[in-house]
Structure 1
């Protein structure tokens, strides 16, 4: 039960991070947003590292750190591009496809495979995501596939979903080799250094952008830290695919928030149906 509660905490933190990130991206570029988020997270987690102590860095840990940090760097840039260019309620739900990809990646990378009920839950989540992207005025049931190919934001987010199906499993390796706190800090601290030259080349006056949005950026980093920590602790108790599936419940909160507070009302009837199916899938996973 603790694992599911931690995973649900991850979903809430992830939704809050996405919402605050969307507002910030009206004022700053995606490179500054990515750098500041990892900077805040590193600052917040550093005291915990000194409190709990440093862990032994085995060769397996170092390989996992290298692979995860490189892939996460690619993901975070694609992710911010996606939510900057398209509606939250269109792009973010596509991340719920990650658990489907994990039916392939988890057995290969860490030897984990969900139960039959768990697979049913994952399929329901994917189905709910598909329906939430169907246009109410389009009679073609396969229209969302065309949308994923043609629209830039959803295309970025689909790639994010696949890469995350790999990095989520690498997280399990990193946590097994060290601890949730040490792995969370190490991975994002390395990414922070990757982002410095990218920020210098791609961003215009990043320090000025950060100064103007310092408090909202601090919130993004805080919610990101909470999301990462709860996820890393959760994968110690339940399968990684289940943790990520529950984490994707954040899309439900985002769709509702986008409808009530951001006036993103396009196709909300289909998205509401999708929410119900997603929640059903999450419930099945919880009891499997």
Structure 2
């Protein structure tokens, strides 16, 4: 399977995991959902750890990167789960398009990398798409209302949480470059999720045994969501091995469109045309940034 097919499968499995979570696990707490996404998924990915190099050979900087990444990753997932569980997918998932825009800004701040005109155009498309998501709050004849869609995004809890997730993922993506250089990509994914699973179990699961016992109220749904998430992780790193990161991430963000379609199909979320147009603009911005 080539990188494009793997990336599309990755996008489909991510959007499907989100839709399955919203449909079947809506009454689960954010902590329980994080345990499913990290701990249960980590268990399913454990066979990929066969052949992992000795951990004693990993240098100290690797563990510094991991120590910084784990809490940010867990916090991002808790916000992500709460957002897709409690708010319409069409009003939350598209804001993940801000991740590559934030990456450019963070790289400029931390690494001194400058944005070229194509990257700036990509950011403009993403911002325009975010305006269109809440465009009903603006009136074209009254310029004083033109900023209302952005202020509304900050007022709506689900949109605000997903913007925070996009920022956190931009940080972890930039910092993850430091850790990824010490392991092959496909093994890094399984190892990283194993660590995330253990950390989630220790800091979220064990202090609240009731959350662990409640986890298996719907074992079939839990396993389906974890398996879809595991497929996303597996195809993500397989695709990364075959193509540049920017290309793979750009295609993976097609999950935004798939998620909106799931929202209309399964949860009868309205205003599909405007939401799809907004997501398409944001996706076009991602492709401009990637290329």
* 1:255 CA displacement: 0.8
Over aligned residue pairs, what C-alpha RMSD do you find? 2.9
Question: What is aligned with 2:60?
Answer: 59
CA contact (8 A) 1:31 1:198 kept: yes
CA contact (8 A) 2:39 2:198 kept: no
CA distance in 2, matches of 1:236, 1:116: 29
Greater CA drift, 124-133 or 76-85? 124-133
CA contact (8 A) 2:250 2:287 kept: no
Compared with structure 1, are the counterparts of its residues 101 and 128 closer, same or farther at alpha carbon in structure 2 (3 Å cutoff)?
A: same
* 1:221 CA displacement: 1.5
Where do 1:244-259 residues align within 5 Å?
244-259=249-264
Where do 1:232-243 residues align within 5 Å?
232-236=237-241, 240-243=245-248
CA distance in 2, matches of 1:116, 1:226: 36
Tell me, what secondary structure is at the counterpart of 2:50? Answer: helix
CA contact (8 A) 2:39 2:196 kept: no
Question: What is aligned with 2:142?
Answer: none
| 1:278 paired to 2:279 | no
CA contact (8 A) 2:4 2:248 kept: yes
TM normalised by structure 2 equals 0.83
Which of 149, 160, 168 is the matching residue for 2:165?
160
Where do 1:38-187 residues align within 5 Å?
38-51=38-51, 53-54=53-54, 56-106=57-107, 116-117=117-118, 119-135=120-136, 138-139=138-139, 140-187=145-192
Compared with structure 1, are the counterparts of its residues 244 and 134 closer, same or farther at alpha carbon in structure 2 (3 Å cutoff)?
A: farther
* 1:224 CA displacement: 1.7
CA contact (8 A) 2:134 2:153 kept: no
* 1:101 CA displacement: 0.3
Aligned residues: 284
Greater CA drift, 29-38 or 43-52? 43-52
Greater CA drift, 255-264 or 176-185? 176-185
Question: What is aligned with 1:221?
Answer: 226
Superposed CA offset, 1:234-277 (max 9, x none): 44555545543332221111111111221111x33321321332
CA distance in 2, matches of 1:245, 1:106: 18
CA distance in 2, matches of 1:177, 1:2: 25
Consecutive unaligned residues of structure 1, counting only runs of 5 or more, are none
Where do 1:3-14 residues align within 5 Å?
3-14=3-14
Question: What is aligned with 2:29?
Answer: 29
* 1:30 CA displacement: 1.4
CA distance in 2, matches of 1:216, 1:110: 43
CA contact (8 A) 1:118 1:242 kept: no
